[in-house]
Chains A and B, each alone.
Chain A
Amino acid sequence: MADKKWMPRWFYQLASPRWCYEITGKLLPLFVIAAILLLVTGTVWALAFAPADYQQGNSFRIIYIHVPSSILAQSCYMLMAVAGAIGLIWKMKVADMVAKCCAPIGASIAVLSLATGAIWGKPTWGSWWVWDARLTSMLILFFLYLGIIALNSAIESERTAAQSTAVLALVGLVNIPIIKYSVDWWNTLHQPATFKLTERPAMPAEMWVPLLVMVIGFYCFFAVAMMLRLRNEIIQRERRSSWVRDLIAG
């Protein structure tokens, strides 16, 4: 790799499992603190201080779980596909590990999104589930995660497993714009996006500021969950290297 110096230095450092293990060890406490602060503040704000919706009343408070988990489930999928692609192209071990660690976290977050959606749908639409484009595409996202977990565990060779799941993840990437634009392309029951890059949210600041706090808090939680899994994965795959032996021997 020494002759290809067109990538920044950190990109090559990231490729070193040992360097990754050390840097995540330093970053982990910061993200733990950030996640706790943001999620606790956000939850208290969301449950007790944000105003009730004039139409939906207090059931609207489910938005503070539903929207962050839906955003995170999709971001996690994109990270998994991008990491998988990096693993395919540059044969970077750490990227393969990141992609592998994304799947179980993403699947559980997708469950949270679907569950809170159903719980919110009951008092709002009168039904736990409707076969609406947004809900269906989100369900497909969950199945993609399950498929990727199943495929990864079915293949013995780590390298082949990483390659096949990366391809599956990249093919499934087509679902992400479908989720995003489902509310515009089809006549859906689901309301349009709360946050858009180009416009101010349609809700008052007392409602969206705590939502933003929760979204960032969910991202920090994801970083913590991701690093915990990644560190395990590094230790397991590098168990024969001398630095891991020293680490375990203490």
Chain B
Amino acid sequence: MSFESFAEFIDMGGHGLYVWLSYAIALVVIVINIVNPLMHKRHIFTEQARRLRREKQS
């Protein structure tokens, strides 16, 4: 461990805001890149399923 206490860990020697902000942005970018295609997949599947049903009826 490079830190004596949890408070010191959060403070990052006065650079806490910079360090934590960087890691937070990284997390956001990663989550967007995973959630976005997953939501798109659901959209495609419901859309195509509807199209298939329509074709069957006609």
Binding site for B on A (CB under 8 A): 39, 43, 47-52, 57-59, 61-62, 65-66, 69, 105, 108-109, 111-112, 115-116, 119-120, 122-123, 221, 224-225, 228-229, 231-232, 235-236, 239, 244-245, 248-249
In the complex, are the beta carbons of A52 and B18 less than 8 A apart?
Answer: no
Is the Cβ of B52 less than 8 Å from the Cβ of A249? yes
How distant is the Cα of A229 from the Cα of B51 in the complex, in angstroms?
A: 22
A–B pairs, 14, beta carbons within 8 Å: A39-B30, A47-B9, A48-B3, A49-B2, A58-B15, A59-B13, A65-B22, A108-B29, A123-B15, A123-B18, A232-B40, A235-B41, A235-B44, A249-B49
Which residue from chain B places its CB closest to the CB of A112 in the assembled complex?
B29
Interface size on B, residues (CB 8 A): 31
Secondary structure of the B contact surface, majority rule: helix
Indicate if the CB atoms of B25 and A112 lie closer than 8 Å. yes
Q: A239 and B48: CB pair below 8 A?
A: yes
Chief secondary structure at chain A's binding surface: helix
CA distance A120 to B30 in the complex (A): 20
Note all chain B residues with C-beta closer than 8 A to A47.
9, 19, 23
From A244, which residue of chain B is reached at the shortest CB distance?
B48
* Contact yes or no, B2 A50, CB < 8 A: yes
Say whether A221 contacts B19, CB under 8 Å. no
Question: Using Cβ atoms and an 8 Å threshold, which residues of chain B touch A235?
Answer: 41, 44-45, 48
Contacts of B41 in A (CB 8 A): 228, 231-232, 235
CB distance from A248 to the nearest CB of B (A): 5
Please indicate the chain A residues that have their CB under 8 angstroms from the CB of B33 in the complex.
105, 108, 221, 225
Q: Quick check: B9 and A59 within 8 Å, CB to CB?
A: no
Considering only CB atoms, which chain A residue lies closest to B9 in the complex? Answer: A48
Contact of A232 among B1, B29, B44, B51 (CB under 8 A): B44
Partner of B22, one of A49, A116, A244: A116
| Residue from the list B12, B32, B52 in contact with A108, Cβ < 8 A | B32
With A109-B29, A122-B18, A236-B44 as contacts: A224 and B52 at CB distance below 8 Å: no
The chain A residue with its CB closest to the CB of B38 is A228
List A contacts of B25 (CB < 8 A). 65, 112, 115-116, 119
Contact with A along B20-32 (1 / 0, CB 8 A): 0111011001101
- Least CB distance from A61 to B in Å reads 5
A123 to B20, CA, bound (A): 13
Bound CA–CA A197/B41 (angstroms): 39
Give min CB distance, A145 to chain B, whole Å: 13
Q: How far is the CB of B20 from chain A (nearest CB, A)?
A: 9
Distance (whole angstroms) from the CB of B33 to the closest CB of chain A: 4
Residues of B within 8 A of A65 (CB): 22-23, 25-26
Q: Is the CB of A61 within 8 A of B19?
A: yes
Is B34's beta carbon under 8 Å from chain A? yes
